[in-house]
Homo-oligomer: A and B are copies of this chain.
């Protein structure tokens, strides 16, 4: 490493967002803590919904004298303000609210891939959630991870179609994005709990992002399971290599401090690749002067510091700092290096990159090229998911290809191969190509097979002479 990268990382995160002013509400200064009405809340909630109060009693908030009203107090003008037992409160405590004290964490979280989780999928929802499922699904499924756009009813109560919700990219009534309680369960808001692998499982599991399953089937997960007691999970600070070395959890690599690498609530900052894309690309992370962040593919022109750039939402911003893919990889490697040698770390990263590049070149790009051609030739309607091949293609990159890439990223050979690239290969050769040929009909040689002819990786298909005992055949075995 040429320069102390962690200095850059701190720079990256030093912009505090300019949010609305919340006069008379709790602030970082501890003299603000301990709203006089707080005792009444606790007293009543020791009988009604007693769990709320007892979880709070175990929290650092309780210990510091921060009470219910300190967080839930609202202004009468707030769109979601309600009167409750004589107090004006809001049900939702947004990141903006938490950020009155937790300034650094808010600054890091805003603009992160977590905070933007709803924005990222919003344009997919009509075709996928609504057509394939149904609008009634959103509340219990997509929104629970990605966040809902919370709707406040006339009386200040929250619309059940959008709440309860603790999705990580929730659009809150105050306009802020995200939900701290997504990871730090209410009302204990425990650091230790959020450092557990289980903290991420609700969203990072399943066919498209099986990070729970990948971790459990990795050596990291194997050691964690055995030595959780040595992980010092409830330490005030939790720096890998200093406060614990038994094993990493999700937080360790993606958010945690490690040696001189500072911790950050921007969970995507250390990720080089966009793994959940049809074709993965290495990405620049662009941070603007106003705190907004943006991912840019490596193939794009590199933005210069101080230049103006138009952002996805149409606004324009001044580039403050850019983290190149190389820098992001260095940051992630700093975590690995707390327990592994340079050769080990580099070797692992090479193995991971090779899987992503193989997926791209052998499967993702040809499949996209074929799909493009079928749409262009109007052999498929433009509507997504009204033809079976569209599901096959979607699952090829969104699920099967994601599993291969996540498996390689976090060292589960089962996911890299059996749940990942093996299924990609099977789906590509035994489902996608036959379906594409059926759609293309007489145009198959041009629209489908010509695409494969370009790549030596598919040459084995045209060389059908080799036998192998792989299927359980051969004179010895089958007779």
Size of interface on A: residues with Cβ below 8 Å to B: 146
Q: In the complex, are the beta carbons of B208 and A418 less than 8 A apart? A: yes
Q: In the complex, are the beta carbons of A465 and B164 less than 8 A apart? A: no
Given contacts A91-B343, A217-B212, A225-B198, contact A381 B464 (CB under 8 A): yes
Specify which of B203, B245, B463, B468 is in contact with A124 (CB 8 Å cutoff).
B468
A347 to B218, CA, bound (A): 36
Q: In the complex, are the beta carbons of A421 and B137 less than 8 A apart? A: yes
Q: Is A145 an interface residue (CB 8 A)?
A: yes
A7 to B117, CA, bound (A): 46
Residues of B within 8 A of A196 (CB): 222, 225-226
Given contacts A160-B346, A355-B136, A469-B124, contact A222 B206 (CB under 8 A): no
Q: In the complex, are the beta carbons of A139 and B185 less than 8 A apart? A: no
Q: Please tell me how many copies of the chain the complex holds.
A: 3
Q: In the complex, are the beta carbons of B230 and A139 less than 8 A apart? A: no
Q: In the complex, are the beta carbons of B465 and A382 less than 8 A apart? A: yes
Q: Is A375 an interface residue (CB 8 A)?
A: yes
Q: Is A407 an interface residue (CB 8 A)?
A: yes
Q: In the complex, are the beta carbons of A368 and B160 less than 8 A apart? A: no
Interface string of A214-246 (1 = CB under 8 A from B): 001111011101110010000000001110011
Interface string of A452-479 (1 = CB under 8 A from B): 0000010011011111111111000110
Segment from A315-323, A332-340, A442-450 that makes contact with B:
A332-340
Most chain B Cβ neighbours within 10 Å, of A54, A206, A277: A206
Q: In the complex, are the beta carbons of B468 and A384 less than 8 A apart? A: yes
Q: Is A397 an interface residue (CB 8 A)?
A: yes
Q: In the complex, are the beta carbons of B145 and A413 less than 8 A apart? A: yes
Residues of B within 8 A of A163 (CB): 347
Specify which of B126, B434, B457, B471 is in contact with A394 (CB 8 Å cutoff).
B471
Q: In the complex, are the beta carbons of A128 and B340 less than 8 A apart? A: no
Q: In the complex, are the beta carbons of B411 and A144 less than 8 A apart? A: yes
Q: List 10 A-B contacts (CB under 8 A).
A: A140-B417, A163-B347, A202-B414, A205-B216, A205-B217, A206-B414, A207-B418, A212-B216, A372-B473, A381-B465
Which residues of A does B touch, CB under 8 Å? 48-52, 54-55, 58, 91, 123-124, 126-134, 136-137, 139-145, 157-158, 160-161, 163-164, 166, 185, 188, 190, 192-193, 196, 198-199, 201-203, 205-208, 212-213, 216-219, 221-223, 225-227, 230, 240-242, 245-246, 259, 277-279, 337-341, 343-344, 346-348, 350-352, 354-355, 357-358, 362, 368, 371-372, 375, 381-388, 390-391, 393-394, 397, 399, 407-408, 411-422, 424-426, 429-431, 434, 457, 460-461, 463-473, 477-478
